[in-house]
Amino acid sequence: MDQLNKLSGIAHWLPRLSLAAIFIFHGFPKVAMTGDVAAMMGMPFIMVLMLGLAEIGGALLMLWGGFGPDWATRLGGLIFTVIMIGAIAMVHAQYGWSSINMGNNGGRGMEFQVLIIAVSLLYAFKGNAIQQKVESAN
């Protein structure tokens, strides 16, 4: 247990980096190939561009918040939450819960989006207190 406790000060980086990677991965194509993505998603060009910029911006805020301002962490978490609520409402809710390709939903359920919301809200509510509490305990 002592070995795990020694690493607890950097544990906040695990979900932080995961969230940032997810949103950069999904945001970059929306910015780099806006027209193609808009046609594929059936959304207006400007909405896709704004969504991509929000995804990348939220990721950068989440990363920056790990080194500094609490508000950056909280804002990143809120941005991710709004994006995921929109994704669930527009796409995933109609396919139910399961994101595993079982039955007839093609793996498009909302379980992973709900997990992303939960982790994002943790950062939105707690901000950098997640890391500060751990660091002060060491």
Residues 86-133 pLDDT 10s: 999 998 888 877 777 666 666 788 889 999 999 999 999 999 987 755
Give the CA radius of gyration of the chain: 17
Question: Tens digits of per-residue pLDDT, 17-32?
Answer: 999 999 999 999 999 9
- The per-residue pLDDT for 101 is 65
- The per-residue pLDDT for 136 is 52
Domain count for the chain:
1
- The per-residue pLDDT for 23 is 97
- The per-residue pLDDT for 29 is 95
**How far apart, in Å, do the first and last CA atoms of the chain sit?**
13
Question: Tens digits of per-residue pLDDT, 26-55?
Answer: 999 999 999 999 999 899 999 999 999 999
Poorest-pLDDT segment among 57-61, 68-72, 128-132: 128-132
Residue located via tokens 């305990």: 137
Neighbours of 6 (CB within 10 A): 10
Tokens at 29, concatenated: 């194509």
- The per-residue pLDDT for 134 is 46
- The per-residue pLDDT for 132 is 56
Q: pTM of this prediction?
A: 0.86
Residues 137 and 11: their CA atoms lie apart, in Å, by: 13
- Domain membership of residue 45 as a residue range: 2-137
Closest CA to 34 of 20, 26, 46: 46
